[in-house]
Structure 1
Amino acid sequence: TEATCPDHGPWFLRFKLNRRDGLHWNFARCIETVRPESYARYKKLEKSQRERIRMKAERAGKKTQE
Structure 2
Amino acid sequence: MKLIGFDDTLLSRHTSPKLSSVAQDTLKLAETTCENLLALIQNPNLAAPKQQLVPVHLIERETT
TM (normalized to structure 1)?
0.36
Q: Which one has more relative contact order, counting CA pairs under 8 Å at least 6 apart?
A: 2
TM (normalized to structure 2)?
0.37
Pair member with larger Rg? 1
Greater fraction helix = 1
